[in-house]
Amino acid sequence: MPDLPQKHRKPKASVRKHQATSEQPPSAQFPSQWGNSRGGRAWMLLRERILKRDGFLCQPCSKEGRTRIAKEVDHIRSLAQGGTDHPSNLQAICIPCHRKKTAEESKQGLQRVATIPSFKLKPLIPVTIVCGPSGSGKSRYVKEHAGPNDLVLDLDVIKVRLSGQPMHQVDDSWLKPALRERNAKLGALAKQPVRYERCWLIVSAPTWGERRRWKEMLNATSIVLAVDAMECERRTRARADPMKWADLAVQWWKRYTAGDDDLVV
Ligand SMILES: [Zn+2]
């Protein structure tokens, strides 16, 4: 993590140099990234401002009902995960909370997130994977077929929930956290107690090889929504960036390989 506490401080000589030379224009006060200037005067000013804004109280502690003095400023979403230095992404934080959060973030950064995870144990409930190109209606299919006690795992839905961004407009930096959450939920299906009757997993999986890996991993059955690219294009036309979705559907069909154990609808 780039923002360990000691890195917020620069040797005195350097600070003095900054003070002597920098009369910054107002527009330079909140650039989206401070680049290598962390530790410099601009960051120190921003840091003071965030601490004041948050009343010098640790925000994670406040959320849990504790009152603790904040001495540091934290990136809510870390720089490594695409966060910025914008004030909306900064919070006052106490040293223990900062240490804990930094350790968790670096641990996450080291873990590769698998698109197709591997689990030691099989799920204790039936799993159905629903595959198809963008716009083939996977979510709708599942909505129509899932029971009230079923678990539906859809990366798009997880990305929306984690990011707070609109459906089909979530930026790619949320893919990893979403994969991590989905994989954790899949893994949990192998441990008692499981409070669902069935799991529906929405994946693109155009090749039979990918579907077979999923199926072996999860003891799953597979459904392929074989909706042609033209129809997919028609259905995704209203989304933001329709070209992207149309292209994804074309690419899906280019990669598609049939398997004899898929239910094709
Ligand atoms: Zn705290």
pLDDT band at 25 (very low <50, low <70, confident <90, very high): very low
Q: If you measure from the C-alpha of residue 75 to the centroid of ligand 1, how many angstroms do you get, rounded to a whole number?
A: 14
Q: If you measure from the C-alpha of residue 99 to the centroid of ligand 1, how many angstroms do you get, rounded to a whole number?
A: 10
Q: So what's the pLDDT on residue 6?
A: 46
Q: What is the mean pLDDT of residues 25-51?
A: 64
pTM above 0.85, yes or no: no
Q: If you measure from the C-alpha of residue 58 to the centroid of ligand 1, how many angstroms do you get, rounded to a whole number?
A: 5
122 part of a folded domain: no
Q: What is the mean pLDDT of residues 186-201?
A: 94
Q: If you measure from the C-alpha of residue 101 to the centroid of ligand 1, how many angstroms do you get, rounded to a whole number?
A: 10
26 part of a folded domain: yes
Using CA atoms, how far residue 151 sits from 129, 134, 146, 174, 195, in Å, is 12, 21, 8, 21, 9
Would you say residue 38 has pLDDT above 90? no
- Total domains in the chain come to 2
Per-residue 3-state assignment (H helix, E strand, C coil) for 75-98:
ECCCHHHCCCCCHHHEEEECHHHH
65 part of a folded domain: yes
Q: If you measure from the C-alpha of residue 144 to the centroid of ligand 1, how many angstroms do you get, rounded to a whole number?
A: 45
Are 100 and 148 part of one and the same domain? no
27 part of a folded domain: yes
Q: If you measure from the C-alpha of residue 24 to the centroid of ligand 1, how many angstroms do you get, rounded to a whole number?
A: 32
Torsion of CA 159, 164, 165, 168, to 10 degrees: 30
Would you say residue 14 has pLDDT above 50? no
